[in-house]
Chains A and B, each alone.
Chain A
């Protein structure tokens, strides 16, 4: 009965979504306030219904109700409780339900907290969100119903894919979807502005925090996914330029561009049309990502079983929303007033440069991802575009952008002084030269490019700190005064500095691990040892293990320095999940400062030996810690009162101050 309630709630949510898509729009076009007022309560009801539906599916998973096909195929009663819950979205149907649940959540947030928005704008936004949720609810109910029943109910389920039985599944998809789907709000605001034919001040004030929120979650989601793949797959790789990864990376790139152009629009009333286009593109790329992942049309190292016929449905949704939005853009964008002149050397100019680079980078990733599809469609030849392509195209585009990053926040609005900013960055430049020298002298004199990369990372971090120091007047006023000023700086400036220095840390991790990682593949027997990057790994023994739903052979290794100082154990296991008879490898990872020793067990041979693959990955954790710092920057920025959603506007003087402060 409960299952049918969940199913019924989903159908009802679809009916209400249709209402939400059509009625408020009609009300807005006729200027009927009573009709427009129905939008918010409808949006809240849709959210309540979808949440109920999701809750029902989750409880079916938790209770191992195998009369539901979806639960039977993706769960097992012996799974630990956590995986019995997270299994809800560890499959196609459930993950699409999570997708619409998060969409409905964002819509409900706009409905609940949008009281200060002009009614017309709010109504139109909710209507567009209604269109999106109608399309995806229809998709779920017609092609991917998670509530389909099975009779008679089997005694036991087929188990969740063992690779997904990990804490990563609990964190990664929800974060990623909060990011992906969060961009729908910016999209809906863009469409609403186009329908309305005007972009008021409220537009940018609203779009920026929503974009920032979505971007922050997407940053976290991608980083979490990367770390998960790194430790779970046992290949020691953290990024494969794989279609599924690119699918999440493209909205991140264009979302980063949107984040920056929205600042220009909010502060200077310029770049309106471009910002609007970026908002459309960013969510379109999220939809494209959903399509690529869910249709299985591209071969990916992350691919799971997928059904191509469903792809057509999502493709239709994709064409409808992207085509419709771009058509509306082409027809209406010119009617929007532009404003805000600026010189090329100015904060605006720097942000435009940022946008040009990020947009080009997004385009290259898009081409590389879709090229195999195009070639196959035209000539029937099957090709793949791998990491070398992306390194060759994406890399050269990123380097000048990263070099330019520290200049941006230091330049004044409207007209900046390039040489004055360069003077302020002298210390940062010196620090980065020092980093290059340290790398060349202490680490590896032949690795010139790696040294330059490390210098670039240092430049980013030092540049971000210089920005804060300059704005609080370090060096020009007494230190206590500067400290007081620093504390008084708007939070969004700390957000910027954290975001940019987080980027620097990530770059440092990437460069270090790409240039200086060590790898050994050796067949070992108990008692054998191998040396890698100053560590000595000695094969101790293999012990059999039993888990709740798997059996395992755990290989224990002693870890020590080459000088003989013991550092404890490191172990890697071969698991066999009993329900599917599917083997997995649990890598052994030990972290020392920011570096890791990573050990992965290969095939066990008859005589008790095993193939062992060991890596030393210097500074690898910085890749994800940098993303964490970026994420913290996003939240710090969101807590800035100027961005607080729906907050009554602060007095004008407070609002203006930070914008002009950069000059002083």
Chain B
């Protein structure tokens, strides 16, 4: 085989692989992406049954209800609308009323969002970016906190509002 043929073979092989990979990727992207929605979006346009989405917002104060078994019910709001959520399992440690949360799942026929995963955060100051953006749109966000912003929450002081947060900073 000449150098040129060899190179052509190599390029051809690479092209076939890339084609294969691309087909896989496009097929999977079509089927597997999950949209992020906020409660207002669901109120405006109900989800199709079986459509998996990520629902993000704040956990409504006083809405968390632990049932007989391991089922937990709570509501998620973005200030304009709220959606009831049902989840079976163990909630993340930092799941709290009045705080940001992302629930992945689908709408059940009874109008309750059934979550298969609930994500809170790892960090007092951290807020999932989608939730932060969504809250900003609804005017629920206060700029200017030293940690890059804080959200207005009707809840009483949580650990995020520690007194030390206002300590004077000099550089």
Taking Cβ atoms with an 8 Å cutoff, the residues of A that contact B are: 69, 72, 145, 148-151, 154, 158, 161, 163, 234, 296-299, 301-308, 338, 341-344, 352, 356-357, 359-361, 363-364, 367-368, 371, 375, 381-386, 388-389, 392-393, 396-397, 521-523, 580-585, 600-603, 605, 611, 613
CA distance A383 to B159 in the complex (A): 30
CA distance A154 to B35 in the complex (A): 44
Given contact pairs A303-B121, A304-B123, A384-B36, A150 touches B167 in the complex (Cβ within 8 A): yes
Given contact pairs A360-B21, A521-B88, A382 touches B35 in the complex (Cβ within 8 A): yes
Judge if B102 is at the interface, Cβ distance under 8 Å: yes
Shortest CB distance B36–A (Å): 4
Segment touching A, from B25-33, B75-83, B105-113: B25-33
Given contact pairs A299-B102, A383-B35, A580-B162, A523 touches B122 in the complex (Cβ within 8 A): no
Judge if B156 is at the interface, Cβ distance under 8 Å: no
Q: Which residue of A lies closest to B36 (CB)?
A: A382
Shortest CB distance A397–B (Å): 6
CA distance A342 to B69 in the complex (A): 66
Given contact pairs A364-B24, A602-B70, A299 touches B93 in the complex (Cβ within 8 A): no
Judge if B14 is at the interface, Cβ distance under 8 Å: yes
Q: Are B162 and A611 in contact (CB under 8 A)?
A: no
7 pairs of residues in contact across A and B, judged by CB atoms under 8 Å: A301-B119, A303-B128, A341-B6, A356-B13, A381-B36, A392-B32, A584-B93
Shortest CB distance A579–B (Å): 9
Q: Are B159 and A521 in contact (CB under 8 A)?
A: no
Of B28, B66, B164, B171, the most chain A CB neighbours within 10 A belong to B28
Contacts of B31 in A (CB 8 A): 388, 392
Q: Which residue of B lies closest to A145 (CB)?
A: B171
Given contact pairs A367-B25, A393-B28, A523-B70, A360 touches B90 in the complex (Cβ within 8 A): no
CA distance A147 to B17 in the complex (A): 50
Contacts of A381 in B (CB 8 A): 35-36
Shortest CB distance B96–A (Å): 9
Q: Are A385 and B29 in contact (CB under 8 A)?
A: yes
Q: Are B32 and A383 in contact (CB under 8 A)?
A: no
Interface pairs A-B: 3 shortest CB-CB: A602-B90, A382-B36, A305-B125
Q: Are B1 and A154 in contact (CB under 8 A)?
A: no
Contacts of A158 in B (CB 8 A): 162, 164
Shortest CB distance A396–B (Å): 6
Q: Which residue of A lies closest to B13 (CB)?
A: A356
Contacts of B124 in A (CB 8 A): 161, 305, 580, 582
Contacts of A386 in B (CB 8 A): 32, 34, 104
Contacts of A582 in B (CB 8 A): 93-94, 124, 159
Contacts of B14 in A (CB 8 A): 356
Contacts of B93 in A (CB 8 A): 234, 582-585
Contacts of B167 in A (CB 8 A): 72, 150, 154
Judge if B20 is at the interface, Cβ distance under 8 Å: yes
Q: Are B66 and A603 in contact (CB under 8 A)?
A: yes
Shortest CB distance B88–A (Å): 7
Judge if B18 is at the interface, Cβ distance under 8 Å: yes
Shortest CB distance B147–A (Å): 6
Q: Are B25 and A364 in contact (CB under 8 A)?
A: yes
Judge if B54 is at the interface, Cβ distance under 8 Å: yes
Shortest CB distance A186–B (Å): 21
Contacts of B91 in A (CB 8 A): 602-603
Shortest CB distance B124–A (Å): 6
Contacts of B148 in A (CB 8 A): 305, 307-308
Given contact pairs A523-B69, A582-B94, A583-B94, A299 touches B129 in the complex (Cβ within 8 A): yes
Of A161, A299, A360, the most chain B CB neighbours within 10 A belong to A299
Of A308, A389, A523, the most chain B CB neighbours within 10 A belong to A389
Which residue of A305, A384, A393 contacts B21 across the interface (Cβ within 8 Å)?
Answer: A393
Given contact pairs A158-B164, A341-B3, A356-B14, A305 touches B123 in the complex (Cβ within 8 A): yes
CA distance A307 to B115 in the complex (A): 29
Q: Which of B51-98 contact A (CB under 8 A)?
A: 54, 66, 69-70, 88-91, 93-94
Shortest CB distance A138–B (Å): 17
Q: Are B122 and A302 in contact (CB under 8 A)?
A: yes
Q: Are B33 and A397 in contact (CB under 8 A)?
A: no
Contacts of A302 in B (CB 8 A): 122
CA distance A523 to B66 in the complex (A): 11
Given contact pairs A389-B32, A602-B90, A303 touches B126 in the complex (Cβ within 8 A): yes
Q: Which residue of B lies closest to A343 (CB)?
A: B1
Q: Which residue of A lies closest to B146 (CB)?
A: A73
